[in-house]
Amino acid sequence: MFDPAGDQVGKVRDVVVALRTGVQQPRVLGLVVEVFGRRSIFVPMTRVTHLDSGQIITTGLVNMRRFEQRSTETLVFGQMLDRKVTIRSSGIQGTVYDVAMEQTRSRDWVLSRVALQEGSKRFGRKGQTHVVEWREVDGLALPEESQGATHLLAALEEMRAADLAHVIHDLPAKRRGEIAAALDDERLADVLEELPEEDQVEILGNLDNERAADVLEEMSADDAADLIAELPPEIAERLLQLMAPQEAEDVRRLMSYEERTAGGMMTTEPVILAPDATVADALAHVRNVELSPSLAALVYVCRAPYEPPTGRMLGVAHIQRLLREPPSTLVGHVLDSDLESLPPTATLEDVARHLATYNLVAAPVVDEDGRLLGAVTVDDLLDHLLPENWRDRPSRNGGLHG
């Protein structure tokens, strides 16, 4: 979405409509637009001056107040996709995967057509698709008791986990639960890590215990520990018992530290190597796409054992130094052994001062015997420094745009 001067206002995330009884076409009220800082605002259709493929032009004056859905409003992508409908004339049943809207002679925008897909009759093949007029289908006016999320997730599959979490956060609780049920464990774990705590607890509480434990195993141990700490003690213990022993042990260890300390927010899966590993080995490990950039910035060189708590930590190897060395060089020869470590009791202020002093994006956390317990990263620090509701707060550019 752009203003008349060509400056980007934000990205359209959904369409808000008012469903009407009978065969009346739903009236399009406006658009949900994501602006600075992942904040969702409502832009009335009266503010839209031009609509084309890939871009929408507004009058340039929009209210930056956060969008809050009313009970009489329906989100097209969030709530209408995957609804089961029936073509009145033929009795064909299918699920909605797209809708069309158009402008009437009175200049109002309405939903005009529905694209639906029949259920597959043969394994591995998609069902036949149909595009029909709005008035020709039944089943769109009332929400279903149980609605799928296949087509919605297909439309959102390219989103990063943080963006998908933002979309899910703005949906009604029922729809959040249906989307969570349709996501695979790994994707759901990534999304949960980006949601506010109240959404995390709600979604996890709607899963059966076995699946909840599986999802917790896919989460990073520090995020899983934070989430489990928000659950009632009896439920938390039940889930910990269902988790794989090693994963549960990591979470229990993190929960033994105060939350706002290096031990409470550290990651227990940094890149750990023996001193006789080569630079080529180290670079192969940090190429892992599942590592965050901050976690891949340092390789921690330790004596055996190599799972936290490790043997004595010998030092760290910086990724920039590794890139300058021949692949056959031993990491033990390129160590930074002078870098100070953090104790697990270090406060948030201690951690922030340490990272700022040494220009680091990650730092080792060691016990009194010099054993590596984990690593605290700048993103771990920011998650704890920002206020709990930072995702919902307006950006510094709040107010009116234009």
CATH (domain of 169) = 1.25.60.10
Tokens of 3: 């203003």
End-to-end Cα, the chain, rounded Å: 13
Of 197-206, 257-266, 392-401, minimum mean pLDDT range: 392-401
Are residues 281 and 379 both part of a single domain? yes
User: Does residue 239 fall inside a structural domain?
Assistant: yes
Answer whether residue 102 shows pLDDT above 50: yes
Report d(CA 394, CA 124) in Å as an integer. 46
Mean pLDDT, the chain, integer = 89
pLDDT given for residue 316 in this prediction:
96
Are residues 68 and 81 both part of a single domain? no
Answer whether residue 401 shows pLDDT above 80: no
Higher pLDDT, 124 or 253: 253
pLDDT given for residue 343 in this prediction:
97
What is the tally of structural domains in the chain?
A: 4
Model-level pTM?
0.77
Per DSSP, which regions of 304-385 are E strands?
A: 313-318, 362-366, 372-377
Distances from the Cα of 155 to the Cαs of 51, 79, 149, 158, 193, in angstroms? 20, 13, 10, 8, 21
Of 113-122, 187-196, 344-353, 383-392, minimum mean pLDDT range: 383-392
Of 30-44, 321-335, 340-354, 387-401, minimum mean pLDDT range: 387-401
Report d(CA 318, CA 171) in Å as an integer. 42
User: Does residue 396 fall inside a structural domain?
Assistant: no
For residue range 307-331, list pLDDT tens digits in order: 999 999 999 999 999 999 999 999 9
Per DSSP, which regions of 118-239 are E strands?
A: 129-133, 137-138
Instruction: Write down which residue in 109, 138, 167 finishes a domain.
Output: 138
Per DSSP, which regions of 229-371 are E strands?
A: 272-273, 298-302, 313-318, 362-366
User: Does residue 112 fall inside a structural domain?
Assistant: yes
Are residues 68 and 85 both part of a single domain? no
User: Does residue 379 fall inside a structural domain?
Assistant: yes
Answer whether residue 391 shows pLDDT above 80: no
Domain containing 224: what range?
156-256
Contact 221, 254 (CB under 8 A): yes
Are residues 283 and 374 both part of a single domain? yes
pLDDT given for residue 122 in this prediction:
66
Report d(CA 133, CA 26) in Å as an integer. 12
CATH number assigned to the domain comprising residue 369: 3.10.580.10
User: Does residue 248 fall inside a structural domain?
Assistant: yes
For residue range 139-190, list pLDDT tens digits in order: 887 666 778 888 888 888 888 898 889 888 888 888 999 999 999 999 999 9
pLDDT given for residue 372 in this prediction:
97
Are residues 161 and 184 both part of a single domain? yes
Q: What percent of the chain has pLDDT over 90?
A: 64
pLDDT band at 39 (very low <50, low <70, confident <90, very high): confident
Are residues 378 and 280 both part of a single domain? yes
Are residues 377 and 306 both part of a single domain? yes
Instruction: Write down which residue in 204, 227, 256 finishes a domain.
Output: 256
Pairing type for strands 84-87 and 93-103 reads: antiparallel
User: Does residue 147 fall inside a structural domain?
Assistant: no
pLDDT given for residue 397 in this prediction:
44
pLDDT given for residue 121 in this prediction:
67
User: Does residue 402 fall inside a structural domain?
Assistant: no
Distances from the Cα of 84 to the Cαs of 22, 148, 151, 256, 298, in angstroms? 17, 9, 12, 48, 51
CB atoms within 10 A of CB 89: 9
Answer whether residue 402 shows pLDDT above 50: no
Q: What is the DSSP letter of 368?
A: T
Are residues 287 and 367 both part of a single domain? yes
256-265, 364-373, 385-394 — most confident range:
364-373
Q: What percent of the chain has pLDDT over 70?
A: 93
User: Does residue 393 fall inside a structural domain?
Assistant: no
For residue range 234-268, list pLDDT tens digits in order: 999 999 999 999 999 999 999 999 988 999 999 99
Report d(CA 353, CA 268) in Å as an integer. 21
Mean pLDDT computed over 375-396:
74
Distances from the Cα of 91 to the Cαs of 58, 94, 98, in angstroms? 41, 10, 19
Pairing type for strands 272-273 and 298-302 reads: parallel
Report d(CA 286, CA 296) in Å as an integer. 5
Are residues 132 and 67 both part of a single domain? no
Are residues 305 and 223 both part of a single domain? no
Are residues 279 and 311 both part of a single domain? yes
Mean pLDDT computed over 217-231:
92
Tokens of 231: 């659950």
pLDDT given for residue 52 in this prediction:
85
Are residues 237 and 309 both part of a single domain? no
In 3D, which of 112, 98, 154, 143 has the Cα closest to residue 23?
112
Answer whether residue 120 shows pLDDT above 80: no
pLDDT given for residue 43 in this prediction:
93
Distances from the Cα of 375 to the Cαs of 130, 250, 265, 323, 361, in angstroms? 54, 13, 9, 21, 10
Of 21-25, 119-123, 281-285, minimum mean pLDDT range: 119-123
